[in-house]
Structure 1
Amino acid sequence: MNLQISGHHLEITSAIHDYVTGKLERVTRHFDNVIDVNVILSVEKLKQKAEVTVHLSGKDVFVESIDEDLYAAVDSLVDKLDRQIQKHKQKVKNHHRGQRISHIVQD
Structure 2
Amino acid sequence: MQINVTGHHVELTDALRNIINEKFERLERHFDNVIDVHVVLTVEKLQQKAEATILVSGNRIHAEASNTDMYAAIDAMIDKLDRQVVKHKEKLKDHHRAEGSHRNHLE
Q: Is this a same-fold pair by TM over 0.5?
A: yes
Secondary structure at the counterpart of residue 28 of structure 1: helix
Alpha-carbon RMSD = 1.6
The separation in 2 between residues aligned to 1:103 and 1:58, in whole angstroms, is: 28
One-letter amino acid of the counterpart of residue 103, structure 2:
S
Mapped to 2, the partners of 1:101 and 1:3 lie a distance apart of 39
4+ runs of 1 displaced by more than 4 Å?
Answer: none
Report SS of the residue matched to 2:97: coil
Partner of 2:70: 70
Residue of structure 1 in register with 2:37 after alignment: 37
Write 1 or 2 for the structure with the bigger share of helix. 2
Aligned-pair distance for 1:101?
5.2
Equivalent residue for 1:26?
A: 26
TM-score (norm 2): 0.91
Q: Which consecutive residues of structure 2, in runs of 5 or more, have no partner in the other structure?
A: none
Q: Which amino acid aligns with 1:34?
A: V
Corresponding residue number in structure 1 for 2:47: 47
Map of 1:103 onto structure 2? 104
Q: How many residues align?
A: 105
Please give the TM-score of this superposition, normalised by the length of structure 1.
0.91
